[in-house]
Amino acid sequence: MAPASSLPAMTWSPPSRPDAPLSEWVRPVHDWPKAGILFRDLTPLWADANAWARTVLALAKPFDAAPPDLVLGIEARGFLVAAALAAHWKRGVLLARKSGKLPGNTFREEYDLEYGRAALETSADILRPGTRVLIADDVIATGGTAEAAHQLTKATGCTPIAFAFLVELVTLGGRARLESRAPVHSVIAFDGDGGVRVAE
């Protein structure tokens, strides 16, 4: 059987204590998907039932007193985050998908990438104007995709109330980009100097 990857074996292992900081379940992967990139892999956190349950509670906490009507998940890993939050509050889930992935009438928002442009779409015929929407994703980096999701939500006639992210990469400046539009909440924040903040 051929190896699944030519990358060297990683020496990282998950924490042994169930009460360890949630950041310890985020696996650092160097030089992936290309050289010079430090990727923050959330797979171990999602795979650990206790750590994931703790994360959902921490992500939901600022909104528990007045939960949104719907949670918008950004493709693709944001779907996991949105579904967990929606189940926590017994609310519905709305999908922000890449162009051409949704049937029926859609709203569309284009946004800039480093090279070229992309678009997000969401269903146009299942929403009521004024619906309060929380925008959720796994990671906030530069904030460009989340900003497009915010504009998309407004285009539907709904009201985006806040952004919620599992992980924030502080040095990439996404929070500053988004905070003029709506409050930003993240559970785990990594800065460029090795510092970590965990909101739990």
On the 0-12 / 13-18 / 19+ scale of CB atoms within 10 A, 166 is buried
Encoded tokens for 170: 């502080």
**Domain positions in the chain:** 22-96+128-198
Residue 112 CA to residue 117 CA, distance in Å, equals: 5
The total of other beta-carbon atoms located within 10 Å of residue 72's CB is 29
Q: What is the per-residue pLDDT across 79-98, written as a single tens digit (0 to 9) for each?
A: 999 999 999 999 999 999 99
Report pLDDT for 194. Answer: 84
For domain 22-96+128-198, give its CATH number from 3.40.50.720, 3.40.50.2300, 3.30.310.50, 3.40.50.2020: 3.40.50.2020
Encoded tokens for 119: 């678009």
Residue with the bigger pLDDT between 148 and 126: it is 148
pLDDT band at 186 (very low <50, low <70, confident <90, very high): very high
The total of other beta-carbon atoms located within 10 Å of residue 114's CB is 6
Give, in degrees to the nearest 5, the angle at Cα 33 between 32 and 34. Answer: 80
Report pLDDT for 149. Answer: 98
